[in-house]
Structures are given as C-alpha cells and as structure tokens.
Amino acid sequence: MADPVVAIESLCYGGAGFGRMDGKACFVPFTAPGDRARIKVVKDKRSFIEGELLELVESSPLRVPPTCPVFGQCGGCDWQFLPYPEQVQQKGAIFADTLARIGKVPRDKVLPVLASPADFGYRSRVQVKVTERAGRVQLGFFRTGSHDVVDFGAGCPLAHSQLNRMAAEFRELLPTLPQLEWIHQIDLSIGDNGEGIAIVHSRGGGSALVERLARDRSQLPSVGGAFVSAGRKGELERAFGIEALTYRVPAGITPGSKELRLRFGRGGFSQVNYRQNLALISTACAWAGLTGQERVLDLYCGNGNISLPLAQSAARVLGIEGYGPSIVDATANAEANGIENVDFQVGDAAQAVRRLVKRKECFDLVVLDPPRGGAEAAAELTGLAPQKIIYVSCDPATLARDLASLCNNGYQVTRSQPVDMFPQTYHLESVTELVRL
C-alpha cells in the first residue's frame, strides 16, 4: 500500500499540522497550512491519526527557509519554516478555538495576539544538555522524543547572544573538567543588564568541580556567577561570582508607579522573554484597575513579578508561592524597592486558598499564574468572593478547563489577551480577566 498524502489545513496546539484522512483528524509535525504531505502513519486510533512527514508532494506558499541548521532535529522549535506573522495568526486561532471548545469562552472575548518585538534572540534562559560523542563535547538540546543530544554548533538562534557566548566558553572549558562524563546539563540565565549565571549539573564530584570552576574563572568571562548542582539532592554550591540576576519594571506601568528593579536568585524562576514579561505585567495591572483601596491575593507569585507592580496601587497584597527561594527573592524585592504593603508566604496555593476560605477571608482581586498543569483549586477561589480574577497562563488547555470551572461558579470571562512569549514554538502565554456575576 502506498504511503498516503494529506492536505494540511491548519496548525494545532502541540505544533503539528492538521488535515483529514479517511474521515479522521490527522496530525503531522513540521507541516504548514497549504502543504500536501506524504506521510508514514505512526499511530492510527479510532478518532485520529498521527503521521510522520516523509515528503512534501506540494509545498505551502507560506514556507520560508528555517534559520537554524539543526531545525527539525533539535526538539526546541516547531515553526521556523513559517514567517513570524503567520505563526502569530495561527497561535491566535488555536488559542481562541481552545478556549471556545473547552472553556465555552465566546470568541469575541479573545483579543489579537500581542506579538513579540523580537522573534529570534529573545530567550534569557536556556537549559543546555551536555554529552560526549567520539571524544568531542556536544552542547545542545534533546532530539524530539529522545535523550539524544543535538549539538547546536555556534548557538541557539532563539537564545540571547550573551547566552550563546556563555555556552561557547563552556564548550572550550568542559573537556578540561574532572569527571566530564558526569556533567549532563548547564542552565544559563541572564538579567536584562546582560549579567549571567550558570548552574552546572553533575551526577557527582561536586566539590572537585566547584574548585575547578573557581580556579578557571578567567576562562568564563561572560559568566558572572557559577554554581554546581551535584548528586541526588541537587543542592547548589557556589563556585564564584554573583548569586542573583535582575530585571527592570519601568515607571508608569500603573498610573504614577515608580521604576522597580526585581531580582531572582540562581535556580529561581523568571519569564524567558523580558520584553513580553512587561506586556504581561502591564496588561494585568491595567485590567486590575486598582484605586488604592483593594486587598489583593497573588497565587504562585514567584519573586513578586506581578505582586509588586500591583502593590503600588493597592491597599494590601498577599503573595503565596510554593518555592521557598522565590519568596526570599520576593521579600528582598519588596524591601529593596521600598514597598511595605505586601506580605509573602511560602505555601501550596491550593491549600492556602482552602485555609483562607475557612477563615472567611475576602479579597477584591485574585491574581494567579500557575504552572502548566493549571490551578488545582480554581473553583474554590470563588469562596474568597473576589470581584475580579486575573488568570495568567502558559497552557491554553488547562486555562480553558479552569475557566469553565470558574464560569460554572458565578464568574464570566470579560476578555483574554494572548501574549506570544515563545516565537518559533507553539507555546503561548495569556492574561484572562473574569468578573463576578
């Protein structure tokens, strides 16, 4: 039987092209709307088919040459073969469809995607995989669906140039380090001022590695601080340099607000696209519409990324975060920026909501920015009686699920703003506003 040919109609969440075959939905990675693709069927289920691209019988007129020489091998990108405006259009359609289908959110509540000012060189953090092959160090990312490292050569085009310089310096240094075979990953991060921190992950030999990095500091001129995470516990040992990075939140992000400088410690979370992070903060603050009288709850608050800008227009803000070091950063950020009307607590968000509901506490505004799995206690937020909820999400499917839950418990979606934090991939950030009926 000849390999089938599928006409690709659109893109879908997950990055694959979508077409139809024998009356079933057919998903084919690395295809574009307008392609006619010869495929190998790799999964044939009752309602859908997954295919592997064998040949483009007819190429879409949308296609452009990928920038990266290892695109299609490395698992980091999905859509480099599409011009960026088309990526944005497809993301908006997927996002609106997901919210309508799962969350029953009317499509007219979804605003156009805020495109990233830079579609390459925007990432401020990368996790670089390390291996050795035929006596040569390989630095890069995993091949799709495997733990095979694809070497990115001169660097990743999505990463800021400073990160690629840091990676290049490690490429030269790694062969000289003890127990190279134990080193499997290097986390590279920069602040918006270009300072960089590296965390070297090793399966052992932590002390010897710390000593060598400290001794060879001069060979890593682009690295402002270096740490080692060794063994099963993965505790960080400092080799040299700075312990935190910073980024700026400009004045005026809320009416009359002052400039903030926010830090996050080594290993702490920060958004990967600083300019789009400001778009998230700006949208959340504008939609909050605070007058100085409100009590605000910020769940999954991290280092105070949204809490502290909001606090400048609120009566009081309570931030809750499960990762202790981020709360250390949030507290330090409040103190460094002279913000006194905030309280930060380490705790599980769902348990915190249940505890606050049990104490019959109320908030005017609840902001949440959960991980990809969504908010465990979404429906229980209604027990805090907020007039407004602002939900920041990095996963449209879990967002839609949680919106459906909230809308079944007395709230309605008034608007949702997708924000493209991750060009060249299918991933999308968003801010959604709900108000109490």
Half-sphere exposure of 228 (CA within 13 A, CB side): 22
* End-to-end CA, the chain: 58
Class of domain 125-190+196-241: mainly beta
What kind and span of H or E run contains 186?
strand 183-190
Q: Is 394 a catalytic residue?
A: yes
Report whether CATH 3.40.50.150 matches the domain 89-117+273-436: yes
pLDDT at position 282 over 70: yes
CB-CB contact of 153 with 186 (8 Å):
no
> Tens digit of pLDDT for each residue in 116-172?
999 999 999 999 999 998 889 999 999 988 889 999 999 999 999 999 999 999 999
Structure tokens at 228: 């080692």
- Specify the pLDDT at position 345: 97
Q: Give mean pLDDT, residues 278-306.
A: 97
Catalytic residue among 12, 285, 394, 407: 394
Structure tokens at 100: 């309508």
Q: In what order do the strands lie in the sheet with 388-393?
A: 342-346, 316-321, 295-299, 365-368, 388-393, 429-436, 411-419
Domain ranges, ordered by start, for the chain: 5-63, 89-117+273-436, 125-190+196-241
pLDDT at position 253 over 90: no
- Specify the pLDDT at position 204: 86
Number of helices and strands (H, E) in the chain?
Answer: 8, 21
Residue 112, Cα to own-chain centre: how many angstroms? Answer: 20
CB-CB contact of 390 with 432 (8 Å):
yes
Decide whether 89-117+273-436 matches 125-190+196-241 in CATH topology. Answer: no
Distance CA 273, CA 52 (A): 31
397 has which bridge partners?
A: none
CB-CB contact of 163 with 100 (8 Å):
no
Confidence of residue 384 (pLDDT cuts 50, 70, 90): very high
Confidence of residue 1 (pLDDT cuts 50, 70, 90): low
Distance CA 240, CA 226 (A): 5
Report whether CATH 3.30.420.40 matches the domain 5-63: no
What letter would DSSP give residue 288? H
pTM: 0.95
- Specify the pLDDT at position 305: 97
Q: What percent of the chain has pLDDT over 90?
A: 91
